[in-house]
């Protein structure tokens, strides 16, 4: 089986790998085996300062590099990521726990963003109009901002850095990446591969650490933009602290996603798709379904069908190709999820499939289905972030839409039906930024924005596609008059 080639977590600053000044951060454990993998550094203001200065020093030359030349590094990056796909997927699986096929899937979504960013010479263009007044022309150009900080969570160790980094550098910015301190190895390997493209020193830098490193980035006067993905309380904090010092900030937060199943939904595919959404990546996807709302007679078949799908899943080490669901990220996370299942039972739900007995040295929780959680239960509003699906019932689609409206989150929702009219009404009225129609994980492709709403997003421009280009550039409007063409008498 694949193993790590290093247990040392290092920073990459100004084109050099450097040892962190302290290793006093989290102990890193393989979530499937319980084996130690190393220790994450706590991170320090001094390291962040070095990385930001390296990025700032690289900015003038990088900004002046023609866009068509900048994207040549991304073409190379795409090809290297394809070449190293198996190795990178194994690395994600070792430190995050998801299955190999999920790791490959995440990397494919990341590579898609590199591909889209290769189109920057077209996508970054502004616009112009001649003769806005006689002899006067007006031109809008987009220019890079400077140093951009990218702060990412544990659940997609490579895809989420790639939601931002390719666009930031293709538009002429330089970057300091601060990956999750629970999965530092995949990001380090990504940066090694980026370095292999020959990208000039300082354009991409890596600092490791937790809150110390994040705070230092948020307060640093040379950081112009911050892209963050993580839990809602931290997203709110990062948004407030980063904006307070005038930075441009985009923060994607947590989620509590609902799917609505109508009686006319195709039973077999609906069940398979919802099971994959709820239990895939051990429920640790920000688009994972957490609550299924059955309407009318869907109540009769869905509970039995989803219970049998959940019970049949093979839980184990994601490196084993037969495994269908891996562990959750840490033992602490496992304890939290087990306790939330217990609270669900205390608050009136019945665990019709109970994953609390899952065995193994790793942090395993089996697929769990909670039936009949009351609407008033605090668990209805809690992001569990584990393989736990609640199933509740509503009389009508309108009632389900109102239930979603009451949620503090707005990341995603889906409807399963064969009725175009019901689907259209749902997608028109529902209060989430990503919507699926017969789709369990409505993850936008790289050329669409990843559009969370409400407590799932803080900011204006989202990740990916055209939003990313808007986010990483400033608009400049030039109004020109030439002496030969005097258009006004003074």
Q: In the complex, which residues of this chain contact ligand NAD (CB under 6 A)?
A: 151-156, 178, 180-181, 210-211, 214, 229-231, 234, 237, 252-255, 286, 383, 385, 411, 450, 452, 456
Q: What is the DSSP letter of 406?
A: H
Q: Shortest approach of ligand NAD to residue 217 CB, angstroms? A: 9
Whether 206 contacts 212, CB under 8 Å: no
Q: Shortest approach of ligand NAD to residue 435 CB, angstroms? A: 15
Q: Which is nearer to ligand NAD, 241 or 393 (CB)?
A: 241
Q: Which is nearer to ligand NAD, 12 or 450 (CB)?
A: 450
Q: Which is nearer to ligand NAD, 211 or 476 (CB)?
A: 211
Q: Which is nearer to ligand NAD, 151 or 262 (CB)?
A: 151
Q: Shortest approach of ligand NAD to residue 128 CB, angstroms? A: 35
Q: Shortest approach of ligand NAD to residue 190 CB, angstroms? A: 15
Other C-beta atoms lying within 10 Å of the C-beta of residue 452: 29
Q: Shortest approach of ligand NAD to residue 218 CB, angstroms? A: 8
According to DSSP, the residues that pair with 78 across neighbouring strands are: none
Selection from 132, 157, 182 nearest residue 478 by Cα: 132
Q: State both tokens at 143.
A: 């220019």
Length of the chain: 490
Q: Which is nearer to ligand NAD, 156 or 364 (CB)?
A: 156
Q: In what order do the strands lie in the sheet with 257-261?
A: 350-353, 368-371, 388-394, 289-295, 257-261, 412-416, 434-437
Q: Shortest approach of ligand NAD to residue 213 CB, angstroms? A: 7
Position closest to ligand NAD via CB: 230
Q: Which is nearer to ligand NAD, 107 or 214 (CB)?
A: 214
Q: Shortest approach of ligand NAD to residue 482 CB, angstroms? A: 48
CA 410 to chain centre: 15
Other C-beta atoms lying within 10 Å of the C-beta of residue 321: 8
Catalytic residue among 118, 251, 281, 286: 286
Render 48-108 in DSSP notation, one character per residue. HHHHHHHHHHHHHHHHHS-HHHHHHHHHHHHHHHHHTHHHHHHHHHHHH---HHHHHHHHH
According to DSSP, the residues that pair with 27 across neighbouring strands are: 39
Active site residue 118: no
CA 71 to chain centre: 23
Whether 448 contacts 402, CB under 8 Å: no
Selection from 352, 364, 286, 381 nearest residue 324 by Cα: 364
Whether 67 contacts 172, CB under 8 Å: yes
Q: Which is nearer to ligand NAD, 270 or 464 (CB)?
A: 464
Q: d(Cα 280, Cα 273) in Å, to the nearest integer?
A: 10
CB neighbour list of residue 258: distance below 8 Å, 6 or more residues apart: 289, 290, 291, 292, 293, 400, 403, 404, 407, 413, 414
Which residues are designated catalytic? Answer: 286
């Amino acid at each position: 089986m694949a193993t790590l080639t290093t247990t040392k977590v290092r920073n990459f600053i100004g084109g050099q790998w450097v040892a962190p000044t302290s290793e006093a951060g989290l102990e890193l454990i393989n979530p499937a085996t319980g084996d130690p993998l190393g220790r994450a550094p706590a991170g320090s203001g001094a390291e962040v300062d070095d990385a930001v200065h390296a990025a700032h020093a690289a900015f003038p030359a990088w900004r002046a590099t023609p866009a068509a030349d900048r994207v040549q590094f991304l073409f190379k990056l795409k090809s290297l990521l394809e070449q190293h796909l198996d190795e990178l997927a194994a690395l994600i699986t070792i430190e995050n726990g998801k299955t190999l096929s999920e790791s490959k899937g995440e990397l494919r979504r990341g590579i898609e963003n590199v591909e889209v960013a290769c189109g920057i010479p077209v996508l970054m263009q502004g616009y112009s109009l001649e003769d806005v007044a006689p002899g006067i022309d007006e031109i809008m150009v987009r220019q890079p901002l400077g140093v951009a900080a990218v702060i990412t969570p544990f659940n997609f160790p490579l895809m989420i850095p790639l939601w931002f980094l390719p666009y930031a550098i293709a538009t002429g910015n330089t970057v300091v990446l601060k990956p999750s301190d629970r999965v530092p190895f995949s990001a380090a390997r990504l940066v090694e591969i980026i370095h292999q493209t020959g990208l000039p020193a300082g354009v991409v830098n890596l600092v490791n650490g937790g809150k110390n490193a994040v705070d230092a980035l948020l307060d640093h006067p040379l950081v112009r933009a911050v892209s963050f993905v993580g839990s809602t309380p931290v997203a709110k904090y990062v948004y407030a602290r980063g904006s307070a010092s005038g930075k441009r900030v985009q923060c994607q937060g947590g989620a509590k996603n609902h799917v609505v199943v109508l009686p006319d939904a195709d039973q077999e595919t609906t069940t398979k798709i919802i099971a994959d959404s709820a239990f895939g990546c051990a429920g640790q996807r920000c688009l994972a379904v957490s609550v299924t709302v059955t309407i009318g007679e869907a109540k009769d078949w869905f509970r039995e069908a989803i219970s049998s799908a959940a019970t049949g899943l093979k839980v184990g080490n994601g490196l084993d190709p037969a495994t269908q669901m891996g562990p959750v990220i840490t033992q602490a996370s496992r304890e939290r999820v087990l306790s939330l299942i217990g609270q669900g039972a205390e608050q009136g739900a019945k665990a019709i499939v109970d994953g609390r007995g899952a065995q193994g040295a790793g942090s395993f929780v089996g697929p769990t289905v909670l039936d009949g959680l009351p609407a008033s239960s605090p668990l209805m509003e809690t992001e569990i972030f584990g393989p736990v699906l609640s199933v509740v019932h509503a009389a009508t689609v309108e009632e389900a839409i109102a239930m979603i409206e009451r949620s503090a989150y707005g990341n995603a929702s889906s409807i399963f039906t064969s009725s175009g009219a019901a689907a259209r009404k749902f997608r028109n009225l529902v209060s989430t930024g990503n919507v699926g129609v017969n789709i369990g994980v409505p993850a936008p492709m790289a050329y669409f924005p990843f559009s969370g709403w409400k407590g799932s997003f803080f900011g204006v421009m989202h990740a990916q596609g055209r939003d990313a280009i808007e986010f990483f550039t400033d608009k400049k409007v030039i109004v020109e008059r030439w002496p030969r063409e005097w258009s006004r008498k003074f």
